[in-house]
Amino acid sequence: MNAVAQSAYLDTEAVVMHYKDMVYRIALSHTSNKTDAEDVFQEVFLAYHRKRPVFETDERCKAWLIVTTINCSKQATSNSWHKKVVPIHDTDIEPASEDSFHFRSEEEDRVFQALQELPLPYRTVLHLFYFDDLSIAQISVLQGIEAGTVKVQLSRGRAQLRNRLKGEYFND
């Protein structure tokens, strides 16, 4: 057993420190909203702390956190409050405020916005593949879908992302 797996059931703080960026990125990708992503982040690590699951490897811990983050994100975005709220600005993912976030460059902001416009299945597999460096087989297991389905979703997601960014970053 390695260091993080050993600390997984002994020290919640070590797990939070090791996986905080991954959990937040997935939550942000699924909720498209900084406030909701922070709520999901807290829910995931609170669930971890309460359940105190024991994992044999880092990969099992990472998989549990990914699945839990995706599930908490789905719950956060499917509750009745989200269904009844109308955004102030229809063109923005999130209303402009001092609490809104920006990436290091305008290009990264645009890529994130284009990614948020994709259907959730494509967004999920693209995020897990490119940002969390998971293989198609790992994504297949985590999502409970066939590897071929993951490949199709990656291909279609890339095509849709390319079309959304065409003229800005692609010369096709």
Phi then psi for residue 40, to 5 deg, are -65, -45
* Residues forming CATH 1.10.10.10 domain(s) in the chain: 102-172
Instruction: Give the confidence band of 46 by pLDDT, cuts at 50, 70, 90.
Output: very high
Span(s) in the chain for CATH 1.10.1740: 1-96
- Give residues with Cβ within 8 angstroms of 138, minimum separation 6: 63, 128
pLDDT of residue 95: 45
Please name which of 157, 142, 116, 104 lies closest in space to residue 34, comparing C-alpha atoms. 116
> What is the average pLDDT across 148-171?
85
Q: Is the domain covering 1-96 a CATH 1.10.287 domain?
A: no
**109 pLDDT band (50/70/90 cuts)?**
confident
According to CATH, what is the number of the domain 102-172?
Answer: 1.10.10.10
Asked whether the whole model's pTM tops 0.75, one would answer no
Separation between Cα atoms, residue 70 and residue 100, nearest integer Å: 22
Q: Do the Cβ atoms of 154 and 126 come closer than 8 Å?
A: yes
Residue 37 has pLDDT above 80, yes or no: yes
d(CA 108, CA 31): 18
Which helix (H) or strand (E) segment holds residue 38: the answer is helix 34-51
Mean pLDDT of 72-85: 72
Count of alpha carbons within 13 angstroms of residue 124, beta-carbon side: 23
More confident call, 161 vs 1: 161
Q: Residues 98-118: what's their mean pLDDT?
A: 74
The secondary structure of the chain in percent helix, strand, coil, rounded to multiples of 5, reads: 70, 0, 30
Is the pLDDT at 84 greater than 90? The verdict is no
Residue in 131, 109, 125, 134 with CA at minimum distance from that of residue 157? 125
